[in-house]
Structure 1
Amino acid sequence: MSPFKSSTGLPENMAATLCYLFAFVGGIVFLAVEKRSRFVLFHALQSVLTFGAIMIAHILSGLIPLIGPVIAALLSILTLVVWVVMLFTSLQGKWLKLPWIGDIAEKQLRHL
């Protein structure tokens, strides 16, 4: 457990884990309520961007004839893997930055 507390009163690692546990919605909630923890804000931003992009990719894959269902199935597997990895790394208090999206989240964090 992290010795540091977020402005919500939760340990930072638990708050960051909740950003991923409830995927897109958890990230939005913590973006709205977190006031000081850069760790929690980073994971909230990364959660919103990651799962938002995956939702858009799922919608777009439904528009592709024939191979769309295969792409959607692969996206579902990728989503599960990313979700589990991010749950465990944030619970351990690690700053795992996903390719591309992690960079965007980090840049946005500088403006908060």
Structure 2
Amino acid sequence: MDNRVKAAFSYVFGWITGIIFLAIEKEDEFVRKSAAQSFVLSLFLLACNLLVFWIPIAGPVLSGCIGFGGFLLWIILIVKAVQNVYFRLPVISTLSENYVMRWFL
């Protein structure tokens, strides 16, 4: 399988495919960075949704906005991966490269 396809698939099911591709891919840095970023981003969006949802009136609306923004970001990341471009998200990519990639050496 091509590295662009692997990187795009690492975003498809969020943290699940992120872990799978981190575990099976040992050599391709592009796929590993994409998988680690997918893992951290999906957990970050999940945590934000869980925290915001419980705000009494505006929570469900904010949660929907986070979900829609996450969906748009997900589409952008998949398209960039197919184009063989690693799209760095400011804080998420730093966390994923410094911590998560070290777990799966």
TM-score by length of 1: 0.85
Identity between Structure 1 and Structure 2 (%): 27
1:14-49 per-residue CA deviation (whole Å, 9 max, x = no partner) reads 100001112221101101111111111100000000
Other-structure match for 1:45: 36
Q: Which structure is richer in relative contact order (CA contacts within 8 A, separation 6 or more)?
A: 2
Give me the TM-score of the superposition, normalised by structure 2.
Answer: 0.90
> Could you say which structure has the larger radius of gyration?
1
Which structure's residues are more often helix, by fraction?
2
Gaps of 5+ in 2: none
Letter aligned with residue 9 of structure 2: L
* Structure 1 segments of 4+ aligned residues over 6 angstroms from their partners: none
Q: Say if 2:36 and 2:101, in contact at 8 Å, map to a contact too.
A: no
Picking from 72, 81, 91, the partner of 1:81 is 72
Number of residue pairs the alignment of both structures matches: 103
**Matches of 1:108 and 1:99 in 2, distance apart?**
15
Counterpart check, 1:65 vs 2:56: yes
CA RMSD of aligned residues (A): 1.4
